[in-house]
Structure 1
Amino acid sequence: MQPIKTALIGAVFCSAAAQVAAADSITIGTNNWAENIAVSHLWQLLLEEQGIDATLKEVSKPLLFGGLAEGDIDVSLEFWLPSDNSYLTPYKDRIELHGTWYDDALDALVVPAYIDDIDTVADLKAHAEAFEYQGQPTIFGIEPGSAIYEETETAIEQYSLPFRQLSSSETAMLAQLEEAYRRKEPIALTLWQPHWVFAKYDLKILDDPKGALVSGQQVKWLAEKGFDESHPGVAAMLDAWHMTPEQLSTLMLEIEKNGDPDQGAAQWIDDNRELVDGWLAADDDG
């Protein structure tokens, strides 16, 4: 009987060790948006402070939700409600939606504050010639398929704007902003808040009375089903997490200035130690 007993003890020990290992490591699904890069690296560093190995895995949005549903990704830190609902719907029984960490996020059309006489989306129509680029009035945007791209197309139609939307990467769009801002030239672009550019430039969010671009959104974190049970301490810390527009903008700007997300996030943590310690204190197992 002794060998059987030993085998059972060994099996129990291996099972317990596996559970500990699972609790001490998580995979965070990310994308290449500035705010997602910022908060993902922020939490990677904070979790590693707590002895938890956090791996960042960059995937497209459709693959992100599939990965969460299949358990290949443990958690993702950015879910915009209601804009991202269409991604969640096919997996709603296999993915858990968690707490809101940022309130009143929005998509918007934006111009520099030095541009007079343009305060609403409708105002763009009368000043279209000032925004010509390569012979056409242009709104600079990001890639087709993104929610803000589709919303901007809706705005162009609803407000009868004689504009095209020129899609590109976020980096290319912001390069156009930097050059126009340096020259004090007119430029219109799609932006969302939170974003670090609002901490760097004086920008004007155009009023959108038709509601073509979505505002008043909540940014939440989400996880594979059962995450609360498998990672209760991490879930408690993430539920305690909340950031204001100023806090998130300064985090992103610190990363932009450093040119490295880990260095920038580490500096921001040092500058905001009391704030982040409050999130970490929510770990019931800490």
Structure 2
Amino acid sequence: MIQRKKGLSVLLAILMVGLLTACSGEAGTESDGKDKAIAIGQINWAENIAVTNMWKVILEDKGYDVEFNYLNMGSTMTALDSGDLDASLEVWLPVQDANYLEKYQDTVNFSEETWYDDAKVGLVVPTYLEDINSVKDLNEHKELFNSEIVGFDPGAGTMEVTEQLIKDYDLDVELVPSSESAMLAEIKKAVKDEEPIVAPLWSPHWVFSKYDLKFLEDPKNTFGGVEKIHHATRQGFDEDYPEVSKWFKNWKMNDQQIGELIDYVESSEDPADGATKWVEENQDLIDEWVK
């Protein structure tokens, strides 16, 4: 009888431990049982790498587990649409990513809030090309560029807008896709040798602090004027992660802040190390977002 009571006591103790564990929630789960792992899309663009790593540092400090899905823009939107991705931190509107807004506005949550309000996109050339100041000048000087615009990731909104620009201005040039890193390498080589090059670029970007480049005038306004950068999330994200959703909506950065963050991340062997340093030095700003 004593032995039976002892066995029951052990069994009861095991059940109580299991119950307490279930009630308290395991590491990586919300108190209501929701998974705290957040999948964020990362695109191989300088500012995107910077802000995704920044938010990884912030969220993991708050107890979340952040996973990166390395995608291009088109795949990012498809993954948000299917629910395989939780968030994308970079959507340029009203022009650059308008095609994605039109296609997915009913199945993806595009934030009305913006985290950067003074973005610019257009074709750029080195400043030493003094006779080329407008998109309209490109046909006249197309031989200088081998009738090519050096592009980056196919599927990016800016690449599609550039294709539209070629049609709008009836340019006799071809947009050559590659990657951001390959495009920047071409710009570096051209500037070093003082050779002509034309490429689609955007600000904020560290490249403008390194090389003397100028945006070409766009009289037809194909690229639009001032762009604003939003974030987007899958349907149901606001309900699953109301706290994080609020933080994303509070997020605001100016030229100096994003420029410094990109510089910290670009100059570090591990982007997370640069982001961590920047977060540590800007905790007051972070606190405004996550209050």
Distance 1:127 1:216, change over 3 A: same
The answer to whether the 8 Å contact 1:61/1:87 transfers is no
Structure-2 residue corresponding to 1:210: 220
2:63 to 51, 58, 61: 51
Distance 1:265 1:209, change over 3 A: same
Superposed, which structure 2 residues align to 1:122-271 within 5 Å?
Answer: 122-129=136-143, 131-132=144-145, 136-271=146-281
* 1:87 to 2:106 alignment: no
Worse-superposed segment, 89-98 or 246-255: 89-98
1:238-257 Cα offsets, whole Å, 9 max, x none, are 11111123322332232222
1:158 alignment partner AA: D
CA distance in 1, matches of 2:77, 2:176: 28
Give the Å deviation of 1:23: 6.0
CA distance in 2, matches of 1:151, 1:88: 14
1:102 alignment partner AA: Y
Structure-2 residue corresponding to 1:39: 51
Q: So what's the TM-score if we normalise by structure 2?
A: 0.81
Structure-2 residue corresponding to 1:3: none
Structure-2 residue corresponding to 1:61: 73
Give the Å deviation of 1:113: 2.2
State the SS of the aligned residue for 2:130. Answer: coil
Give the Å deviation of 1:36: 1.5
1:117 to 115, 131, 140: 131
CA distance in 2, matches of 1:278, 1:235: 14
Worse-superposed segment, 119-128 or 202-211: 119-128
CA distance in 2, matches of 1:94, 1:145: 19
CA distance in 2, matches of 1:80, 1:15: 42
The answer to whether the 8 Å contact 1:258/1:264 transfers is yes
After superposition, the CA RMSD in angstroms is 3.0
The answer to whether the 8 Å contact 1:65/1:87 transfers is yes
Give the Å deviation of 1:91: 4.2
State the SS of the aligned residue for 2:175. Answer: strand
1:116-171 Cα offsets, whole Å, 9 max, x none, are 13222113333334x23xxx233211244332223223333333434332322211
Structure-1 residue corresponding to 2:109: 96
Give the Å deviation of 1:89: 4.3
1:75 alignment partner AA: A
Distance 1:155 1:90, change over 3 A: closer
Give the Å deviation of 1:11: 8.5
State the SS of the aligned residue for 1:118. Answer: coil
2:165 alignment partner AA: A
Give the Å deviation of 1:207: 1.2
Identity %: 40
Structure 2 residue runs of 5 or longer lacking an equivalent are 1-14
2:34 to 12, 19, 22: 22
| Structure showing greater Rg | 2
CA distance in 2, matches of 1:190, 1:148: 7
Structure-2 residue corresponding to 1:4: none
